A and B are shown apart, each in its own frame.
Chain A
Amino acid sequence: MSTLFRKIRYLDEAAQNLIEGDLLVQGGVIADFGQNLGRPDGAAIVEAEGAVLAPGLVDLRASLGEPGFEYRETIASAAEAAAAGGITSIAVLPDSAPPIDDPALLHLIISRGVETGSVSLLPYAAATRGLRGEELAEYGLLKAAGAVAFTDGGKAIASSRMMRLALAYAAGFGMRIVQHPEDAELARGGAATAGARATWMGLPGIPAAAEAICVARDIRLAKLTGGAVHFAHVTTGEALDLIRTAKDKGLKVTCDTAPPYFDLNETAIGDYRTYCKLSPPLRTETDRLAVIAALADGTIDAIASDHQPRDPDDKRLPFADAAPGGAGLATLLGVTLARVQEGQLTLPQALALLTKRPAAWLGIEAGVIARGRPADLVLFHPERSWQVQAGALPGKAQNTPFDGRALEGVVLGTWKSGKRVYG
Chain B
Amino acid sequence: MASLKHLLGIEGLNPVTATSLLDLAESYVLLNRSGKTQRDLLRGRTLINLFFEDSTRTRTSFELAGRRLGADVVNMSVATSSVTKGETLLDTAATLNAMNCDLLVVRHNRSGAPHLLAEKVGAAVINAGDGTHEHPTQALLDALTIRRNKGRIAGLTVAICGDIAHSRVARSNILLLTMMGNFVRLIGPPTLIPGGIATSGVSVFHDMEEGLQGADIVMMLRLQKERMTGGMVPSTREFFAYYGLDRRKLGFAKPDALVMHPGPMNRGVEIDSAIADDAARSRIQEQVEMGVAVRMAVLDTLARG
Instruction: Show the binding face of A for B, using Cβ within 8 Å.
Output: 194-205, 207, 271-272, 313, 316-322
Contacts and interface: CB of A to CB of B under 8 A. Distances in A.
Given A195-B195, A196-B199, A202-B171, A321 B85 contact: yes
B51 to A, nearest CB: 15
B110 A199 contact: no
Contacts of B194: 198-199, 205
A318 B116 contact: yes
A316 B130 contact: no
Given A202-B134, A202-B171, A318 B110 contact: yes
A319 B195 contact: no
Nearest to B83: A321
A200 B171 contact: yes
Given A198-B195, A318-B85, 16 more contacts: A196-B196, A199-B196, A200-B196, A201-B133, A202-B111, A202-B134, A202-B171, A203-B111, A204-B132, A207-B195, A316-B86, A316-B90, A316-B116, A318-B110, A318-B111, A318-B113
Nearest to A194: B195
Nearest to B85: A321
Contacts of A205: 194-195
Nearest to B110: A318
A318 B112 contact: yes
Contacts of B115: 271-272
A200 B174 CA distance: 10
A319 B132 CA distance: 12
Interface of B: 11, 85-87, 89-90, 108, 110-113, 115-116, 130-134, 168, 171, 194-197, 199
Contacts of B131: 202, 318, 320
Given A272-B116, A321-B85, A199 B111 contact: no
B108 to A, nearest CB: 7
B195 A318 contact: no
A201 B197 contact: no
Contacts of B132: 202-204
28 contacts: A194-B195, A195-B195, A195-B196, A196-B197, A196-B199, A198-B195, A199-B194, A199-B196, A199-B197, A200-B11, A200-B171, A201-B112, A202-B131, A203-B112, A203-B133, A272-B116, A317-B89, A317-B116, A318-B86, A318-B110, A318-B111, A318-B112, A318-B113, A319-B112, A320-B111, A320-B112, A320-B131, A321-B85
* A-B pairs, 3 with minimum CB distance: A196-B196, A202-B133, A318-B110
A276 to B, nearest CB: 13
Nearest to A197: B196
Contact of B130 (A197, A202, A207, A322): A202
A322 B132 CA distance: 16
Interface SS of chain B: helix, strand, loop or mixed? mixed
A393 B195 CA distance: 37
A202 B116 contact: no
B53 to A, nearest CB: 12
A5 to B, nearest CB: 47
B108 A318 contact: yes
B176 to A, nearest CB: 13
A320 B196 contact: no
Nearest to B166: A202
Contacts of A318: 85-86, 89, 108, 110-113, 116, 131
A196 B199 CA distance: 9
Contact of B86 (A197, A204, A317): A317
Contacts of B197: 196, 199-200
A196 B112 contact: no
B43 to A, nearest CB: 34
A128 B154 CA distance: 60
B198 to A, nearest CB: 9
Contacts of A198: 194-196
B87 to A, nearest CB: 8
B111 A201 contact: yes
A205 B132 CA distance: 12
